[in-house]
Chains A and B, each alone.
Chain A
């Protein structure tokens, strides 16, 4: 089943440093990949953020490990459509994106009175 189901491994999902994500994303865009989405998972002391791209039904993933309390550059300058999912990850996992052009301030889905990130086992309180 060509790329409709992909098991994530080190071979097909290289881990890159947070400060390299914009460069890598730009390379993929220049190669003709479209942005699919980002996924995230709580690892305890950090949040794993996966970036998914697609070209001709082939899925390509990048992985970034973001220590809690640190920032990661927003890729909205490369793929404008990433702004919504970056807001969602910020709201649910407390990951701060540097340079987010449209910031819902953690209120994309949740109300103002929800102060803690719902998905992290060790929650981050909104300031």
Chain B
């Protein structure tokens, strides 16, 4: 049978963001996949030439809407290290709380889109309905549903009032109950399993060798999560990475679903231990030196390389996002799969093309 070349994207019903794959198929089996990027490249890293290190926080928050506050958190951690700033303890805990709410919102967004990718529209709508609760919390506590602008160099810009704390904890309880009600549908439904079990298997060795990050890595049996390093207040919380070993789409589903439940638990732990202190320290001077900072975003490990020379503008802000790291594993998974499984495989790495292209 002759080979055909099929363009997938950049516009496609399952793709939330533009990505082009040139698929070479034979008898509807994918033989080769080549990516083409650049549809949402905004050159945000270059803006450091005309934005000072405080203004760059607003730029990095807008690299992506689904890991917005964690971009800012990673950037601020790097700058704080260069300026020898010790962030107050309450700010560390608040950063954890907002980061975990962001993780919940991101994983539920993905879970809904994933269900939609194999035609389970009612599940997609159920999950996004649950997700609306955490969007309301983000809007009430941070002022915006999507771009959670709470981090600043030296701490956080806002506090969470006692009234909002109670609301968040009540909402977490409701969301946990609703997610557990959906668990059997997400995990045990025959159709879901048929479309995910044994699909897109990425072995442990390949996942490690290809530099996979986040649930793509942990779904293949490697227990690596940047939160284990104990940044922010994670060292004070009871946390172990969620790991599955099968390396298929179903395993990555399980990892993300269980991480959502774990995020709810981490928020409860953080509130239980939330100390009283100021929210931020006022930085003095300008950053000087080079630093590499990493945090765990919903998609995996993000890396920021910052170079400063004591001037108003930083020399370099380099961002390596987890989706960028997960594209080589995706290109490894695609050959050998059915054409009908391509949308499922693309979504299984939880792609964020805005993050990838910056």
Query: Which residues of A line the B interface, CB within 8 A?
Result: 1-8, 34-37, 39-42, 50, 52, 56-57, 59, 61, 79-81, 83-85, 102, 107-111, 118-119
Q: Mark B273-294, 1 if CB is under 8 A from A, else 0.
A: 0000000000000000111111
- Count of residues in B whose CB is under 8 Å from the partner chain: 43
- Specify which of A4, A35, A109 lies most central, judged by the most chain B CB atoms within 10 Å of its CB: A4
**Which residue of the partner chain A has the closest CB to B224?**
A57
Whether A109 and B37, one on each chain, are in contact in the complex, defined by CB atoms closer than 8 angstroms, is yes
Closest Cβ–Cβ distance, residue A110 to chain B (whole Å): 7
Known pairs A3-B294, A36-B303, A79-B211 / 19 extra A-B pairs, C-beta < 8 Å: A4-B230, A4-B231, A5-B292, A35-B211, A36-B301, A36-B325, A37-B303, A39-B292, A39-B305, A39-B316, A41-B318, A50-B305, A81-B210, A81-B325, A84-B324, A85-B324, A107-B38, A110-B41, A111-B38
Q: From residue 205 to 250 of chain B, which have CB atoms closer than 8 A to chain A? A: 208-211, 224, 226, 228-231, 235
Task: Jot down 23 A-B pairs with beta carbons below 8 A, ordered by A.
Answer: A1-B230, A1-B231, A3-B294, A4-B293, A7-B81, A7-B290, A7-B291, A8-B290, A34-B211, A35-B211, A36-B303, A37-B303, A52-B292, A52-B305, A52-B320, A57-B226, A61-B292, A81-B209, A81-B211, A81-B328, A84-B327, A109-B357, A111-B38
Closest Cβ–Cβ distance, residue A72 to chain B (whole Å): 17
Whether A4 and B229, one on each chain, are in contact in the complex, defined by CB atoms closer than 8 angstroms, is yes
Whether A119 and B46, one on each chain, are in contact in the complex, defined by CB atoms closer than 8 angstroms, is yes
Whether A8 and B289, one on each chain, are in contact in the complex, defined by CB atoms closer than 8 angstroms, is yes
- In the complex, what distance in Å separates the CA atom of A59 from the CA atom of B293? 10
- In the complex, what distance in Å separates the CA atom of A56 from the CA atom of B290? 22
Q: A3 — which chain B residues lie within 8 A by C-beta?
A: 229, 294
- In the complex, what distance in Å separates the CA atom of A35 from the CA atom of B208? 9
- In the complex, what distance in Å separates the CA atom of A56 from the CA atom of B229? 10
Closest Cβ–Cβ distance, residue B301 to chain A (whole Å): 8
Is B295 an interface residue when CB atoms closer than 8 A count as contact? yes
- In the complex, what distance in Å separates the CA atom of A41 from the CA atom of B317? 9
Is B13 an interface residue when CB atoms closer than 8 A count as contact? no
Q: A52 — which chain B residues lie within 8 A by C-beta?
A: 292, 303, 305, 320
- In the complex, what distance in Å separates the CA atom of A56 from the CA atom of B342? 32
**Which residue of the partner chain B has the closest CB to A111?**
B38
Q: Given the interface contacts A4-B229, A5-B231, A81-B210, does A41 sit within 8 Å of B292 by beta carbon? A: no
Q: Given the interface contacts A2-B230, A5-B78, does A59 sit within 8 Å of B294 by beta carbon? A: yes
Q: Mark B314-357, 1 if CB is under 8 A from A, else 0.
A: 01101010001101110000000000000000000000000001
Query: Which residues of B line the A interface, CB within 8 A?
Result: 34, 37-38, 41, 43, 45-46, 77-78, 81-82, 208-211, 224, 226, 228-231, 235, 289-295, 301, 303, 305, 307, 315-316, 318, 320, 324-325, 327-329, 357
Taking a contact as CB atoms closer than 8 A, the residue among B46, B208, B226 that contacts A118 in the complex is B46
- In the complex, what distance in Å separates the CA atom of A42 from the CA atom of B316? 9
Q: Given the interface contacts A35-B211, A57-B228, A84-B327, does A4 sit within 8 Å of B77 by beta carbon? A: yes
Q: A61 — which chain B residues lie within 8 A by C-beta?
A: 292
